[in-house]
Homo-oligomer: A and B are copies of this chain.
Amino acid sequence: MKKTTQLKQLGEFGLIERLRSKLNTHSPRIKKGIGDDSAVFSTHPNKLQLTSTDALIETIHFDLKTISPIQLGHKAIAVNISDIAAMGGTPYLALISLAFPSSTSTKFIDKLYSGFQTICDSNKIELVGGDTVASPKHLFINVCIVGEAFKDRVFYRTGAKPGDQIFVTGNLGDSAMGLKILREKIKKSGSIKHKNTLVKKHLEPIPRVKESSLLARSKLKITSMIDISDGLTQDLGHLSTENNLGANLYEDRLPASKALLNVCFQKKYNPIDWILQGGEDYELLFTIKPEDVKKLEKLFLKANVFVSHIGEITKSPKKIILITGNGSKVPLRVATGFNHFK
């Protein structure tokens, strides 16, 4: 019953031509997009350039049974945007390498590209190139992204000092629970609406571009920033341990969605485990000088952006302490995030 064209019928050059016709560049700074040996673009003299790359591999990062090609296209770009946002930058250009098994249908490819295009369009990112090759078995997607930031407004992982206050955007743990729901097909308990919300957070993450831009355009004394991809504890470890510092986290300030709390309640999970260790949140975790906390809260309130003040950087080397509701201190083990090779 399979009537769609397969890649082996279309051929490599047919595919490139098909994609090229759909992907037009708009920005005058892109002198050449797809169709030459390299893409050519201009940069602003008073900005720094940012670049990052992320690969998504079938069976490791995604399962084609649970993610649609449109969602996959969205996610591959979203996780890269998040890396630029985590530096205070704005992405403007992307290159996509794809390795397809030859049985891939052109319908699948069209939908995948539709996913790429939609998120790129809404973020004004130009798709300027890539590589399209065969794969012996699994689908590989690699995105390389380029962005820019004002010279004095690039936020690194290093830079936090004791006393700096820790903030995080959005809610934590939703994506990890969404993945669990997908994998284990938790059907019998919990509301369908809540489960759908969590699954969507996993499959269609929204990179925090607006929040990053608010911080970059402000004069707030941001001292470090990272996006949460490996889980709060793990990524906070990157911010605090780089300079041999530690952190206190206040349990009752950690942000969790109603959806996560509902499913945890139904399944008798402890939400704190999901909040602290859940990966792929793509929320921004950052530190700010204590004197700027009020200004930050005002700025984000005005912009209607949700942010939580969850703790502070301490002098205790490499110790992340969770302070519970009753005041007891629980040391957290860092490096509990996702490890690809174990």
| Residue ranges of A at the interface with B (Cβ–Cβ < 8 Å) | 7-8, 10-13, 15, 31-32, 35-43, 45, 48-55, 57-61, 82-84, 86-87, 89, 93, 95-100, 102, 128-138, 140, 142, 144, 146-147, 149, 154, 156-157, 225-227, 335, 338-342
- Residues of B with C-beta under 8 A to A132: 340
B57–A140 CB distance below 8 A: yes
A57 and B7 alpha carbons, distance in the complex (Å): 17
> Nearest-CB distance from A238 to chain B (Å)?
9
Among candidates B7, B128, B142, residue contacting A142 with C-beta atoms closer than 8 Å? B142
A58 and B99 alpha carbons, distance in the complex (Å): 11
B339–A227 CB distance below 8 A: no
Give the oligomeric copy count.
Answer: 2
A37–B157 CB distance below 8 A: yes
B49–A86 CB distance below 8 A: no
B41–A136 CB distance below 8 A: no
B32–A156 CB distance below 8 A: yes
- Residues of B with C-beta under 8 A to A226: 37
- Residues of B with C-beta under 8 A to A134: 57, 60, 340-341
- Cβ-closest chain B residue relative to A35: B157
- Cβ-closest chain B residue relative to A53: B95
> Nearest-CB distance from A336 to chain B (Å)?
11
A13 and B238 alpha carbons, distance in the complex (Å): 12
Interface centre among A37, A95, A154, A335 (most CB of B within 10 A): A37
- Residues of B with C-beta under 8 A to A53: 95-97, 129-131, 142, 144
A17 and B133 alpha carbons, distance in the complex (Å): 30
Given contacts A102-B341, A341-B102, contact A51 B138 (CB under 8 A): no
Given contacts A60-B134, A134-B60, A154-B31, contact A342 B37 (CB under 8 A): no
A-B contact list, 7 entries, CB within 8 Å: A12-B341, A32-B154, A39-B52, A40-B49, A52-B129, A55-B142, A135-B138
B40–A144 CB distance below 8 A: no
Given contacts A51-B38, A84-B38, A131-B53, contact A58 B136 (CB under 8 A): yes
A137–B140 CB distance below 8 A: no
- Residues of B with C-beta under 8 A to A131: 53-55, 142
- Residues of B with C-beta under 8 A to A97: 53-55, 142
Given contacts A37-B226, A48-B40, A95-B52, contact A57 B133 (CB under 8 A): yes
- Residues of B with C-beta under 8 A to A142: 53, 55, 97, 131, 140, 142, 144
Given contacts A37-B226, A40-B154, A55-B99, contact A136 B15 (CB under 8 A): no
B57–A136 CB distance below 8 A: yes
Interface centre among A10, A50, A82, A154 (most CB of B within 10 A): A50
A8 and B227 alpha carbons, distance in the complex (Å): 26
